[in-house]
Amino acid sequence: MTELNKIVLKIISNGKGILAADESNGTMTKRLASVNITSSPENRLLFRETLFSSDSMKDCIGGVILYDETINQKTNYGNSIPDLISSSGAIPGIKVDTGAKDLAKSSEEKITEGLDGLRERLNKYYKLGARFTKWRGVYTISKEYPSKLAIHSNAHALARYSALVQESRMVPIVEPEVLMDGDHSAEICLNKTSEVIQKCFEELILHKIDLSGIILKPNMILAGNKSKHQISNEEVSEKTLECLKKSVPSEVPGVAFLSGGQSEIEATENLNLINKNNNTNFIMTYSYGRALQHSALRQWSKDIKNKEATQNTFNHRARMCSLASKGKWSVELENK
Ligand code: 13P
């Protein structure tokens, strides 16, 4: 077993998943504004530190993805945020892309940037304690999109990023997110997502990536959020498994889904069914941002000094996701 594979398994095995807390300051400002909290470095730290010191970190969270601001911050007790995360047994990770920009020659689509100077930034993050990284490519579905150009250029960037990350002895999360926005059917989401993921692996293999040392972070297969033909949770799990079975090489140890705008319960229930029906060798777990933090953020905004109430809310959510990653979640446990 390689060092990279060991890191992967430590992050996603045994009912653990990833807490995606890597919202950029712009995104975090919108999240905080939605609960009437001022977005200052202190408030962003306070909320995140509250989550990172929760009890459920030990059993449910194998890795935390941080944003550049947070990986450089210190707690009230003077220890660094990566140290706080490591003290619960979880592994600190870092978002290293610099965002999705308009794609030249197809300006309604996006290309994710951040390759310039990446090797040097990775060395700095390794020294700060990071052992895995994230890069998100983003694709929209419409009549003509995602275009071949967007599919190819984002896959190429994800592969070049992954090569630099593995060279720096860290595990790359490869995140091709096909957005749920639109009125397309689940069948179209299945076809487009499969094409996107297959292209990513074609490029990853070309760039000599050790596939046992990556984590794939895809979207689940859903009908577009404006489609009149929504599918059941059971169908989401079946189509998601179908997509991954035909698109992901067997050397990949596991998949950690993004929640992508699903509610907390939807994301939990769908993951639970994916695991109940899992007929692959892949570990299937979560790498949720909103679906792990939504209720906790609401609770925190009622009284930002009440650590216990926020942590209770977060612990419940994390435990439900952990059960779902083993196919052991139920409505009864959710409402207990
Ligand atoms: P969501 O779970 O809120 O989609 O966030 C996951 C993530 O890291 C997006 O890049």
Q: How many residues does the chain have?
A: 336
Residue found by looking up tokens 């699903």 in the block = 262
Nearest residue by C-alpha to atom 5 in ligand 1: 289
Three-state SS at 134: strand
> Is the separation of the CB atoms in 118 and 164 below 8 Å?
yes
Rounded CA gap, 170 and 1, in Å? 15
- C-alpha to C-alpha distances, 179 to 108, 207, 231, nearest whole angstrom: 14, 26, 16
Three-state SS at 54: coil
Q: Which pLDDT belongs to residue 76?
A: 86
Counting from 1 in the atom list of ligand 1, the atom nearest the Cα of 22 is 8
Nearest residue by C-alpha to atom 4 in ligand 1: 260
Q: Which pLDDT belongs to residue 328?
A: 98
HSE-CB at 324 with a 13 A cutoff on CA atoms is 29
Which residue numbers are catalytic? 217
Dist. CA 20 → ligand 1 center (Å): 6
Secondary structure letter of residue 325 according to DSSP: T
Q: Which pLDDT belongs to residue 287?
A: 99
Counting from 1 in the atom list of ligand 1, the atom nearest the Cα of 292 is 2
Q: Which of 30, 96, 101 is nearest to 68 (CA)?
A: 96
Give bridge partners of residue 65 from the DSSP assignment: 20, 93
Dist. CA 137 → ligand 1 center (Å): 12
Dist. CA 175 → ligand 1 center (Å): 9
Backbone angles phi, psi at 50, to 5 degrees: -60, -45
Q: What distance, in Å, lies between the first and last C-alpha atoms of the chain? A: 40
119 contacts: CB under 8 Å, gap ≥ 6: 164, 167, 168
Which CATH fold topology does 3-334 show?
A: TIM Barrel (3.20.20)
Enter the tokens of residue 287. 């790498």
Residue found by looking up tokens 């995360």 in the block = 85
Nearest residue by C-alpha to atom 9 in ligand 1: 258
Residues with CB under 6 A from ligand 1: 20, 136, 175, 258-260, 288-291
Rounded CA gap, 167 and 219, in Å? 27
Average pLDDT per block of 10 residues along the chain, 336 residues long: 96 98 98 98 98 98 99 95 98 98 97 98 98 98 97 99 98 99 98 99 98 99 98 98 98 98 98 98 98 98 98 98 98 97
Rounded CA gap, 256 and 260, in Å? 12
> Is the separation of the CB atoms in 37 and 304 below 8 Å?
yes
Counting from 1 in the atom list of ligand 1, the atom nearest the Cα of 260 is 4
- C-alpha to C-alpha distances, 208 to 78, 183, 212, nearest whole angstrom: 41, 37, 12
List, as one string, the DSSP characters of 209-255. --GGG-EE-PPP----TT-S----HHHHHHHHHHHHHHHS-TT--EE
> Is the separation of the CB atoms in 274 and 241 below 8 Å?
yes
Dist. CA 325 → ligand 1 center (Å): 17
Best mutation site among 219, 220, 290, 295 for ligand 1 pocket (most ligand atoms within 8 Å of CB): 290
Three-state SS at 114: coil
Counting from 1 in the atom list of ligand 1, the atom nearest the Cα of 293 is 3
Dist. CA 290 → ligand 1 center (Å): 6
> Is the separation of the CB atoms in 170 and 131 below 8 Å?
yes
